[in-house]
Structure 1
Amino acid sequence: MNETSAPLTGMRFSKGHGTGNDFVLVADPDGEKSISPEQIAALCDRRRGIGGDGLIRAVRSRHLPEGVELLADNPTAEWFMDYNNGDGSRSEMCGNGVRVFVHFLITQGLVSLEAGEELTIGTRAGIKVVSRTDAGYRVDMGPWDFIHPEARQSGSDSLVNVAGLPVERPALSITMGNPHTVVALADLDELASTNLNEAPVVTPVPPYGTNVEFAVPAQPLVTDDVGHISMRVHERGVGETLSCGTGACAAAAATRFWAGSEAPDVWAVTVPGGVVGVRFFPGPDGREHVELSGPAVIVADGVLA
């Protein structure tokens, strides 16, 4: 590691991913580790560090102000997912990261969770309930909504300009606890030609920036009551990633809205790193919630030199 990371010498870490969305993970149950944005960026650097789309620190909720606030109404949320993007900037949460976070807790012996059991965790986007399945994990991502409510009538709220596409495209901004702007493309050739080496320009951009998803509906859109889309994503503070869980949820929500009232509640979203499942269902708070499902893998454990 470079000089910025020198104080982290001896720190244990793991490397994990969910459909290619990869993370450096650190167990810090008592909240004793102070990792600066510069150190996070160094750790996530793919040439000079461990490499990852972000860093996840596992901390008991009572050791973070945000966690203490959540515990007041959710006393079972013992663990908090402290998440930063690969450039060191703080993010609300990450859908693929939630699954990897819970799998990390299990592999570290910090929690026990059998198939069919649930675990409640805290994030900066609120409480998330994670269920273990035979094939991975399901996460109640909470309610989705439009960032701009007036988009319910127009179907779009912004324009997106990106290299590789000749003209600006209309887009719809969705919040999953973090912001997303979804662009529908005509076919897989357009998706492949989109250049995400530079950040797309969104006008107007949501107040705290946005992740941008480019989605292509399958032909036919629905097979056996399941909707199908393919997607690529540019994540704020990261760049293009092989997968984005909240982005998959947002892309499915936007496509389902555009498709109309007969659109299904269950979706399969193909991303460069694999396939994730998205399901819409009535939540306990009376709002429509989104469930994300998919695998989580820990690929390595190590100690920083």
Structure 2
Amino acid sequence: MTVPVTDFAASPLAQLAGLEFAKGHGTGNDFVLVADPDGLRDIGAEQAAALCDRHLGIGADGLIRAVRSEHLPEGRELLAEDAAAVWFMDYRNADGSVSEMCGNGVRVFVEFLLDQGLAELAQGEVLPVGTRAGIKRVERREGGFAVDMGPWGFIHPAQAEEDAGDSLVTADGLDVARPALSVTMGNPHTVVALAADSELARLRLFESPSVEPLPPNGTNVEFVVPAEPLVREGIGNISMRVHERGVGETQSCGTGACAAAVAIRHWAGRGAPNRWDVRVPGGTVGVAFVTGPEGAEHVELSGPAVIVARGTLG
């Protein structure tokens, strides 16, 4: 198909006329994907925002450009760490800002590489992918992919250990500011626990929630409701909505699901499970806590990835 853009000649997209793209999603978190193996298409912030515009562009939560790692400074650094990380996921949020990575996006990125014939991956095999949050190793599984998201951490470790939270979050639909816990998954997250699904449903996340104090690079904000009972058959269960920095509310957020599981497991205390199902508006993703190759605790994210369309801009 060909996607027309209103007043195309005056649009930031005019320089991208003829650009081939795909559209994909992971549990409703959707992306425009572009194959640029030789790094010849420098898609800037304004053009990325125009591509992701849901009214005047293609529409997406973010833009993913597939570039061979050797063509980017960040990618070359990662190749020195692992020569097999030949592909780099160059990711921008819907507002055009550069982001470290995206948990749902990296699964869709690998599905896109397979769809385009740029990589091969049998079930059970692992593909290392370069991102601005380091190398992410993606395993192909039945029904989707599992990603080793690497180690997690608290943004403010001292406050986290005191169980007092490290910030207060105000959002449209909350009666009062709520305590929150800030977690890094390579990108920043602030997690708020709510008492009931009705509270989650009342939230109006058109505007960015207020976080005080705000982490230095901004933050994604997750609102989470633990299930009752929390654990069923050894698996923790939570529901989540998220406001992503530079995007707004999305149907899903992979790193956000990981951060939510980290926070709820921390609050649940000793005996909390290491496997979690996280329900988001776009579906369900799995989160597991595993031991990484260096002995540190890593977070694994699993879920589907789907390519839904291919087209040419113009």
| Superposition TM-score, scaled by structure 2 size | 0.96
1:122 counterpart = 2:110: no
Instruction: State the partner residue of 2:84.
Output: 76
Instruction: State the partner residue of 2:242.
Output: 233
2 CA distance for matches of 1:94 and 1:261?
29
Q: 1:36 aligns with which of 36, 44, 47?
A: 44
2 CA distance for matches of 1:301 and 1:52?
14
What secondary structure sits across from 1:150 in the alignment? helix
Q: 2:258 aligns with which of 228, 249, 255?
A: 249
1 CA distance for matches of 2:161 and 2:308?
46
1:261 counterpart = 2:275: no
User: Does the 8 Å contact 2:160/2:181 carry over to 1?
Assistant: no
Letter aligned with residue 239 of structure 2:
S
What secondary structure sits across from 1:31 in the alignment? coil
1:63 counterpart = 2:71: yes
Instruction: State the partner residue of 2:298.
Output: 289
Letter aligned with residue 129 of structure 2:
I
Question: In the TM superposition, what is the alpha-carbon distance from 1:152 to its structure 2 partner?
Answer: 3.1
| Superposition TM-score, scaled by structure 1 size | 0.99
Q: 1:271 aligns with which of 275, 280, 284?
A: 280
Question: In the TM superposition, what is the alpha-carbon distance from 1:114 to its structure 2 partner?
Answer: 1.1
Q: Which runs of 5+ in 2 are unaligned?
A: none
Instruction: State the partner residue of 1:162.
Output: 171
User: Does the 8 Å contact 2:277/2:285 carry over to 1?
Assistant: yes
Letter aligned with residue 213 of structure 1:
E
Listed as ranges, the matches of 1:215-226 within 5 Å are 215-226=224-235
Letter aligned with residue 193 of structure 1:
R
1:107 counterpart = 2:107: no
Letter aligned with residue 236 of structure 2:
G
1:52 counterpart = 2:93: no
2 CA distance for matches of 1:9 and 1:231?
38
Instruction: State the partner residue of 2:143.
Output: 135
Letter aligned with residue 93 of structure 1:
M
Instruction: State the partner residue of 1:146.
Output: 154
Q: 2:98 aligns with which of 67, 90, 93?
A: 90
Question: In the TM superposition, what is the alpha-carbon distance from 1:233 to its structure 2 partner?
Answer: 0.1
1 CA distance for matches of 2:262 and 2:161?
15
1:78-123: CA deviations, max 9, x gaps? 0000000000000000000000000000000000111111100100
Instruction: State the partner residue of 1:203.
Output: 212
2 CA distance for matches of 1:232 and 1:99?
20
Percent of residue pairs bearing the same amino acid type: 68
Letter aligned with residue 277 of structure 2:
A
2 CA distance for matches of 1:130 and 1:196?
31
2 CA distance for matches of 1:265 and 1:285?
19
What secondary structure sits across from 1:234 in the alignment? strand
2 CA distance for matches of 1:285 and 1:244?
26
Q: 2:15 aligns with which of 7, 13, 22?
A: 7
Instruction: State the partner residue of 1:171.
Output: 180
Letter aligned with residue 169 of structure 1:
R
What secondary structure sits across from 1:88 in the alignment? coil
Letter aligned with residue 236 of structure 1:
R
1:190 counterpart = 2:199: yes
Question: In the TM superposition, what is the alpha-carbon distance from 1:154 to its structure 2 partner?
Answer: 2.2
1 CA distance for matches of 2:177 and 2:160?
21
Q: Which runs of 4+ in 1 moved over 2 A?
A: 151-155
